[in-house]
Amino acid sequence: MSDAIPVIDLTDLETGNPQALARIAHDIGSAARDIGFFYVRNHGVAADLIDAAFAASAKFFALPTAEKAAIAIDKVGANRGYAGLLTEALDPTRPADLKEAFNIGFDDPATGLGADGRGRNAWPRLDGFQPVMQAYFDAVLALGRRLHRAIAVDLGLEPDFFADKLDHPLATLRLLHYPPHPADALAGQIGAGAHTDYGNITLLATDAVGGLEVCRRDGVWVAAPVIPGTFVVNIGDSLMRWSNDVYVSNPHRVVNRGNRERWSIAFFLDANPDAIISALPGCVAPGALAKYPPVTMAAYLRQRLNATYGAAVGIDTVP
Ligand code: OGA
Ligand code: NI
């Protein structure tokens, strides 16, 4: 088992060059079977856009608490809106997380805003915030779809296998802000408790502060260093299930040890609500049975979110 998280260069993934696709598929496949995490560079998302998203995020978290609370997740619903400091414990055995967050969901241009029971995004009154976040959302969604082409090839499928399962995805962009570690923090209280992500893949942009840690399947924690110009990508639980556990979704956490604030932006790419998560053909050995029964993405995600956050965020989508 490796203790390094590999860096994969995505040059030419976009152009459809078959050699590049084969190399990237192979590299992603080995990382996904082992540590479940990899970095991507030359990923095609403009640095200026990433900087603009971080700048807009900092402005949002600097708003008065009452303005943020007015668009809290429990008011907005459908896992969209603001989650305040100490309102979540990603590891339920630990004290609440030292972080605040803001969630933006996928709006389907084909069916209209808030269609198909997904709820609607709530936007803060901040000039330029919405266009920047929508542009960033679109860019990371496109990157996530490109990565699924490589994942499909690695799993012995046609490159566009996931295309019609990701055309109206349950995708969420989550802005995160971690305050400096407070002097009065409780024992064992950290930025984000150990957890796995629920969907197919997560694309994470971080600032220079560091603090992300990944748990290998043998229980050893490995630091994920900051590598400028990259996204950290990890396999989530629904892709692990889809691949019949060939790929691994590993626990991770955030420990903001120093006295600096930390910002990150996570993009959770989960499949269409009506996509059926059932063992992919190449992932079940001949004569063996799939490990899990089929389930829709919406039902799977609802079950996972409800277990973590209670009914407050209820995903309404019932395909
Ligand atoms: C998450 C997560 C890591 C980070 O939100 O699921 O793992 O660096 N975030 O903020
Ligand atoms: Ni996570």
Which of the two residues, 302 and 144, has the higher pLDDT score?
144
- In the block, which residue shows the tokens 């029964």? 293
* Cβ–Cβ < 8 Å for 204, 101: no
Interval 255-309: pLDDT, tens: 998 889 999 999 999 999 999 999 998 899 999 999 999 999 999 988 887 776 6
* Angle value at C-alpha 241, between 151 and 211, nearest 5 degrees: 75
Does residue 206's CB lie within 6 angstroms of at least one atom of ligand 1? Answer: yes
Report whether pLDDT(196) > 50.
yes
CA of 150 to the centre of ligand 2 (A): 22
Query: Which residues line ion ligand 2, judged by CB < 5 Å?
Result: 197
pLDDT for the residue 114: 63
CA of 191 to the centre of ligand 1 (A): 9
Q: What is the pTM of this model?
A: 0.94
Nearest CA to ligand 1 atom 9: 266
pLDDT for the residue 314: 43
Express as a percent the part of the chain with pLDDT over 90.
Answer: 77
Domains annotated on the chain, with CATH: 7-309 (2.60.120.330)
Report the C-alpha gap between 36 and 250 in whole angstroms.
6
CA 291 to chain centre: 24
Dihedral pair phi/psi, residue 151, rounded to 5°? -60, -45
Q: Which atom of ligand 1 is nearest to the CA of 197?
A: 6
Nearest to 266 by CA among 10, 53, 71: 53
Considering 108-122, 134-148, 301-315, the range whose residues carry the highest mean pLDDT is 134-148
Report whether pLDDT(315) > 60.
no
Provide the edge-to-edge strand list for the sheet that holds 231-235.
Answer: 7-9, 37-41, 231-235, 201-206, 262-270, 170-178, 100-105, 81-83
pLDDT for the residue 112: 66
Mean pLDDT of the chain: 92
Q: Which of the four pLDDT bands, split at 50, 70 and 90, describes residue 316?
A: very low
Does residue 176's CB lie within 6 angstroms of at least one atom of ligand 1? Answer: yes
pLDDT for the residue 1: 67
pLDDT for the residue 319: 30
Which of the two residues, 155 and 182, has the higher pLDDT score?
155
Report the C-alpha gap between 5 and 225 in whole angstroms.
9
Q: Which atom of ligand 1 is nearest to the CA of 234?
A: 7
Q: Which of the four pLDDT bands, split at 50, 70 and 90, describes residue 243?
A: very high
Q: For residues 109-137, give the mean pLDDT.
A: 86
Does residue 252's CB lie within 6 angstroms of at least one atom of ligand 1? Answer: yes
Report whether pLDDT(94) > 60.
yes
Report the C-alpha gap between 25 and 13 in whole angstroms.
10
Q: Please give the helix or strand (H or E) that residue 19 lies within, else none.
A: helix 18-33
